[in-house]
Chain A
Amino acid sequence: MSRVVTRIADSLVQTDTAPSTQTPAGPDTAQASVLEAARLALARDLRLAFRKRDQLVQPLAFYAMVTMLFPLSISPELSRLREVAPGVLWAGALLASLLALEFLFRDDAYDGTLEQYALSGQSLTWLMFAKTAAHWLLTGLPLALMAPLAGLSLGVPAAALPGIVVSVAVGSIALSLIGSIGAALTLGVKRSSALLALLTLPLSLPVLIFGARATQLAISGGPLLAPIELLAALAVLGLTLAPLAAAAAVRISLE
């Protein structure tokens, strides 16, 4: 899997082979467009994640453990498991994504990458968007793909699994975006994890509520489009506002 991702990262960085015309102090014709910049920021994060796999695996392992310990500790009775399944699936996903958030900007702040992003002349908002997208690809998407496994261990009927995957995938987009604001705001704060949770959890509650509702409806075979649409609305709201807020918070933290 890592080789595939490396190849993706490679294809994202394809540098043009044409020799750049270098007019030092003159007008810069070779300036990278904002989309190229965002693509490179995304590719960099993906590649880094696969060089440091422990950060990648930790939230997923946490999610697997939480969702598998529950059926062991409650009862093997299917009807009771199905009753708690939505809550367990979503509380687990929320906490796992929170766990991953700490790494979102921390290393970049430490090694000066954020500073260089802020001074790149490119839109910091787009770069933050790219970083958050990478974060979702590395935690939200894998969580969504793991949800069926977790669902099965909680006795969820197979017919409900596609709905659960979709709801976790959409909901985690909103979680990543909300989290990016919290992670950016807590940059430069010592022992920031408690503060990060305090900032992020209240904002994430709508996602938890609608996500659990979608899962519940998926299990009982009800129409789950409405809660998923609400999750999507939250994701879109996050898409439009969160990168802006994160960029502003990063600039403040650099001062």
Chain B
Amino acid sequence: MHDERLDVENLHLWRGDRHVLRGVSFSLSRGECLQVTGPNGSGKTSLLRTLSALMYPEEGRVLWRGQDVRADLAAFHGALAYLGHEPPLKGELSARENLRYWIGVRRRIGSRALEAALELVGAGAWCDRLVRTLSAGQRRRVALAGLALLMVPLWLLDEPTTNLDREGQQLVADLIAEQRARGGMVVTAVHHELPASLRDLRRLELRA
């Protein structure tokens, strides 16, 4: 897996008559984290959605391990975890059930791994409550537990620290550091600075 890398070449994206992404290029190799910054409406979410191949760029391409991601979408998606603005959770299921279904669709998870992930994000005490009774920060923590369970090399995170207290933000930083330590890659869109403990982040500034 030494050739794992993400290359983005000259992305141009239009939404209606708005030119959202204007020639974005970067590459990311093992253990690197790219922090995408920029004001509201500068296209951070659009960039992440284009990287994940949910959106089609008008020009440019995304290469995973040197190959256009559209050539083998299933393989690329198998290597990728995308967390959007809202945690993809069902209000009528408990945190534990949510993870079992959401992650289980992608990979087999043993109950021990599930417990460990719930402990990791501090959800041990409330993981059997229905998600609709949880606070926004708690929901975000459940989503982070899912991220930890997925064990994939590429993370695309859209504002991962939203709604989190300081301890939760540190948790995000720890998760990202761990992902990098094991050779994973992270692209994250942020408003707020990530905790200072994360060093040598690469930055990409988008303009509105």
Contact = CB atoms under 8 A, between A and B. Distances in A.
Contact of A119 (B54, B104, B112, B114): B54
A31 B106 contact: yes
Contacts of B106: 31-32, 37, 120-122
Contacts of A15: 100, 104, 108-111, 114
Contacts of A255: 54-56
A201 B184 CA distance: 49
Chain B, interface size: which category? 35 or more
A74 interface: no
B86 interface: yes
Contact of B108 (A26, A32, A51, A116): A32
Nearest to A38: B105
A111 B90 contact: yes
Nearest to A22: B151
B78 A121 contact: yes
B198 interface: no
B60 interface: no
B68 interface: no
B105 A122 contact: yes
A28 B113 contact: no
Contact of A20 (B4, B54, B109, B152): B109
A36 interface: yes
Interface stretch (A40-48, A58-66, A87-95, A205-213): A40-48
A248 to B, nearest CB: 13
A47 B75 CA distance: 30
B125 interface: no
B151 A115 contact: no
Contacts of B4: 25
A25 B183 contact: yes
Interface in A8-26: 13, 15-20, 22-26
A40 B102 CA distance: 9
Interface string A224-255: 00000000000000000000000000000011
Nearest to A48: B92
B77 A119 contact: yes
A215 to B, nearest CB: 36
A136 B141 CA distance: 34
Contacts of A52: 92
Interface in B66-125: 74-80, 82, 84, 86-93, 97, 100-102, 104-114
Interface centre among B52, B76, B86, B97 (most CB of A within 10 A): B97
B166 interface: no
Contacts of A146: none
Nearest to B15: A255
Interface in A25-84: 25-28, 30-32, 36-37, 40-41, 43-44, 47-48, 51-52
A24 B81 CA distance: 13
Interface of A: 13, 15-20, 22-28, 30-32, 36-37, 40-41, 43-44, 47-48, 51-52, 107, 111-113, 115-123, 127, 254-255
Given A19-B112, A24-B151, A24-B184, 8 more contacts: A17-B110, A17-B112, A20-B109, A24-B179, A24-B183, A30-B109, A31-B106, A111-B89
